[in-house]
């Protein structure tokens, strides 16, 4: 454990004006408050906050951050309050300690909803002061270093998984690659120990076998640069971590032997001009590998990272990766935001530094998601993707996840641009909105005031921001339509039993369904989670006290309402979309089906052989590939239609009805389309369970002499 004077000396080494007395006071305060506590390793608990402070000294953090690191657990684990911290150490430290304390509850949450809610709090806290995140990253890093002392294997795995999914990507986002690499490696050791050991063994073998080759490549690169006048240059080699190697193998579906850049060579020079000179020298002497050049100097990554990357067939025709950067760029690549700490000048980085655009986008997602789990999903999308860099017509740079389309670009420019986009020009050519973007593309978005987000966009957008906006629009629109549909259903059902419907009479039903408002109840009826019949039972239970609440107790009209209002057993639908079955083909379970998005508002279900879907051939984006779930509730009835030619004889219509009823069908509608002295031509709508049920009825009808012909419409 680091001693008190050693911590003070480390801080004073990079900040001679640091308040030594305040650091000493915080050190002693932490020691006294945690004096009776032990960690899982058996060490005094005070060793943890001291080590967290020690980690932050490596990144030359300010005194307030060091003191916060020393005190970050006292509020949660001791009787000390925020007011006590304010009184002893001031408002700035107490605000930071309070922020980190609230985030401590993000750890060890088995409930995903709680974990997601706490991650939302983390984003909000670090948007106010990025130091909260830096302290939290150091806290998690030390916890990962001592993870092996926790006896519960499931708890260790949960901590490691959270580190991999949340903290390592956040460390990468603010550019602290050292913390990211170590957190990933420690988490990888817990989640996949056998794979990691195998990779380490292979790396050790290659290291022993290839020492002479690596030294040869380093010497040749140094000689080449010296011969061309690049005197002040540092040339070194860097080995990839086991986790980064494994991840690349997984992403590219390749074996270890197929990797070409396990070792990357780095050239550090004095100026930007020298970076490009070195690049020219290397490309002039070695053959460049296609698609391996990246210029992150002219287009930095969102976390501020700058460097030139190139792949070449280097000395002895070995394929190698070379990174070229200045000393300042190298410092930023290693230390991230801490390399150019802005708090000494009283500047809030989130307001004044472009590298925090991603954080503002996460805040925008918070505003447009309906629940913490959805926010967590979208932010993970934002943090895990490799990136492409595209430009607006004015030359502004927009960074997007790889695989993004023009709609993602539109939402990245502005939410309103995304909502109203109708087309895109990619490199001056009009292209579909779903066009995947490449590095360097220039995008011009075409908008219309009358356009609204299309629910089908959610199927191909990549960014969490776009998904959140589209889902919010769908929810808003669907609530309005479900409200209208629910009111219509309730009006008809109440009318059938002789009562007038109004909002006030539904108050008594709210407790029955555990719903807080009348509007939510009406919407639930509209979306099918509650039937109109159930609402009547809740409002007027005495009406049906001598009857069983079943389909047989309802009038045909009521049964029809209930069936249309029930949730369908269809897979492939976008969440919360209004659906109805086409009256032209009457699809049934067992049919091959397709969904047609009508005006972006709802989906009409057709059979795939329906003649009416041919008109949508020129707009395939409106078609959804759907199917029936394997398990379908037997009580979920559908309407099938048959065409018949029946002999005009006495009692034939009555006999027809008997045949259908005996085969468990129920006639919903009957229409005679043509009649003469010899026959009736008619169609009949019948409630059935599926295609097989309707086929059985058709077979039974064909077996009777009164039917001339019968077929499914």
* Domains assigned to the chain: 4-193 (1.10.3210.10), 203-338 (3.30.460.10), 568-633 (no CATH), 638-712 (3.30.70.260)
Q: How far apart are CA 485 and CA 523, in angstroms?
A: 8
Q: Which residue among 43, 77, 181, 419 is the active-site one? A: 77
User: What pLDDT is stored for residue 71 in this prediction?
Assistant: 92
Q: How far apart are CA 486 and CA 146, in angstroms?
A: 56
Q: Please, which pLDDT band fits residue 491 given cuts at 50, 70 and 90?
A: confident
Number of Cβ within 10 Å of residue 212's Cβ equals 8
Burial 307-340 (b: 16+ CB within 10 A, else e): bbbbbbebbeebebbbbbbbeebbebbebbbbbe
User: What pLDDT is stored for residue 209 in this prediction?
Assistant: 66
Q: Please, which pLDDT band fits residue 355 given cuts at 50, 70 and 90?
A: very low
User: What pLDDT is stored for residue 342 in this prediction?
Assistant: 39
**Between these two residues, 136 and 544, which has the higher pLDDT value?**
136
Known catalytic residue at 611: no
Q: 0.75 exceeded by the pTM?
A: no
E strands of 155-276, at which residues?
A: 234-239, 263-269
Is the pLDDT at 304 greater than 70, yes or no? yes
* Contact present, 80 and 96 (Cβ < 8 Å): no
**Torsion, Cα of 105, 111, 117, 121 (10° steps):** 20
- Token pair belonging to 218: 């380093």
**Between these two residues, 622 and 81, which has the higher pLDDT value?**
81
Q: Which residue among 76, 438, 648, 678 is the active-site one? A: 76
Q: How far is CA 470 from CA 411, 417, 443, 620, in A?
A: 10, 13, 21, 20
Closest Cα partner for 66 from 102, 114, 13? 13
Q: How many Å separate Cα 150 from the centre of its chain?
A: 31
Each residue's pLDDT tens digit, 50-100: 999 999 998 888 899 999 999 988 888 888 888 999 999 998 898 888 878
CA atoms 488, 489, 491, 495: torsion sign = positive
Q: How far apart are CA 69 and CA 97, in angstroms?
A: 8
Known catalytic residue at 76: yes
Q: How far apart are CA 572 and CA 458, in angstroms?
A: 13
Residues 6+ apart with CB under 8 A from 9: none
Number of Cβ within 10 Å of residue 133's Cβ equals 25
Q: What is the mean pLDDT of the chain?
A: 78
Q: How far apart are CA 380 and CA 374, in angstroms?
A: 10
């Amino acid at each position: 454990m680091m001693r008190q004077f050693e911590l003070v000396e480390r801080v004073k080494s990079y900040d001679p004006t640091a308040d030594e007395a305040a650091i000493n006071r915080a050190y002693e305060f932490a020691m006294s408050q945690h004096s009776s506590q032990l960690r899982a390793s058996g060490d005094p608990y005070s060793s943890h906050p001291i080590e967290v402070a020690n980690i932050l000294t490596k990144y030359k953090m300010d005194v307030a951050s060091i003191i916060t690191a020393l005190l970050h657990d006292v509020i949660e684990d001791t009787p000390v309050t925020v007011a006590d911290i304010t009184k002893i150490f001031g408002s700035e430290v107490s605000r930071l300690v309070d922020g980190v304390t609230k985030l401590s509850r993000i750890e060890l949450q088995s409930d995903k909803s709680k974990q997601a809610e706490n991650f939302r709090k983390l984003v909000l806290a670090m948007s106010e002061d990025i130091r909260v995140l830096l302290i939290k990253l150091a806290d998690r890093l030390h916890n990962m270093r001592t993870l092996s002392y926790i006896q519960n294997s499931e708890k260790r795995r949960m901590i490691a998984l959270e580190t991999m999914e949340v903290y390592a990507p956040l460390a990468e986002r603010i550019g602290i690659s050292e913390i990211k690499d170590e957190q990933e490696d420690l988490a990888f050791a817990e989640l996949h120990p056998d794979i990691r050991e195998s990779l380490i063994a292979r790396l050790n073998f290659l290291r022993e076998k290839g020492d002479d080759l690596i030294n040869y490549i380093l010497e040749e690169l140094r000689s080449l640069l010296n011969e061309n006048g690049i005197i002040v240059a540092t040339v070194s080699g860097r080995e990839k971590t086991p986790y980064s190697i494994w991840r690349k193998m997984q992403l590219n579906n390749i074996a270890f032997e197929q990797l070409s850049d396990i070792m990357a060579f780095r050239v550090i020079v004095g100026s930007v001009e020298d970076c490009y000179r070195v690049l020219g020298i290397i490309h002039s002497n070695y053959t460049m590998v296609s698609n391996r050049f990246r210029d992150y100097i002219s287009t930095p990554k969102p976390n501020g990272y700058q460097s030139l990357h190139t792949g070449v067939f280097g000395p002895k025709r070995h394929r190698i990766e070379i990174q070229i950067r200045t000393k300042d760029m190298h410092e930023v690549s290693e230390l991230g935001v801490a390399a150019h700490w802005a708090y000494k000048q009283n500047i809030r980085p989130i307001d004044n530094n472009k590298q925090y655009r991603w954080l503002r986008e996460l805040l925008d997602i918070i505003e447009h998601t309906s629940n913490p789990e959805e926010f967590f999903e979208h932010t993970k999308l934002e943090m895990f993707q490799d990136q492409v860099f595209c430009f607006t017509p004015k030359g502004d740079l927009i960074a997007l996840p790889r695989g993004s389309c023009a709609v993602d670009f539109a939402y990245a420019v502005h939410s309103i641009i995304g909502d109203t986009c109708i087309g895109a020009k990619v490199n001056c050519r009009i292209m579909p909105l779903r066009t995947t973007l490449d590095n360097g593309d220039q995008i011009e978005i075409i908008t219309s005031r009358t356009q609204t987000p299309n629910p089908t966009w959610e199927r191909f957008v990549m960014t969490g921001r776009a998904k959140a906006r589209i889902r919010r629009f769908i929810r808003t629109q669907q609530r309005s339509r479900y409200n209208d549909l629910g009111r219509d259903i309730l009006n008809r059902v109440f009318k059938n039993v002789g009562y007038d419907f109004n909002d006030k009479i539904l108050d008594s039903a709210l407790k029955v369904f555990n719903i807080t408002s009348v509007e939510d109840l009406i919407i639930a009826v509209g979306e099918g989670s509650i039937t109109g019949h159930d609402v009547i039972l809740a409002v007027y239970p005495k009406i049906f006290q001598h009857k069983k609440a079943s389909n047989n107790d309802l009038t045909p009209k009521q049964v029809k309402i209930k069936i249309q209002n029930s949730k369908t057993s269809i897979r492939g639908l976008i969440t919360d979309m209004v659906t109805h079955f086409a009256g032209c083909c009457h699809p049934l379970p067992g049919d091959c089906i397709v969904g047609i998005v009508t005006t972006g508002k709802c989906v009409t279900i057709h059979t795939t052989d329906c003649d009416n879907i041919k008109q949508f051939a020129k707009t395939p984006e409106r078609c959804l590939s759907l199917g029936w779930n394997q398990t379908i509730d037997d009580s979920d009835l559908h309407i099938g239609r048959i065409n018949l030619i029946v002999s005009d004889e006495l009692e034939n219509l009555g006999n027809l009805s008997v045949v259908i009823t005996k085969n468990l069908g129920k006639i919903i509608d009957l229409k005679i389309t043509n009649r003469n002295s010899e026959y009736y031509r008619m169609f009949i709508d019948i409630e059935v369970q599926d295609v097989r049920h309707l086929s059985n009825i058709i077979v039974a009808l064909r077996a009777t002499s009164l039917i001339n012909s019968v077929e499914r419409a």
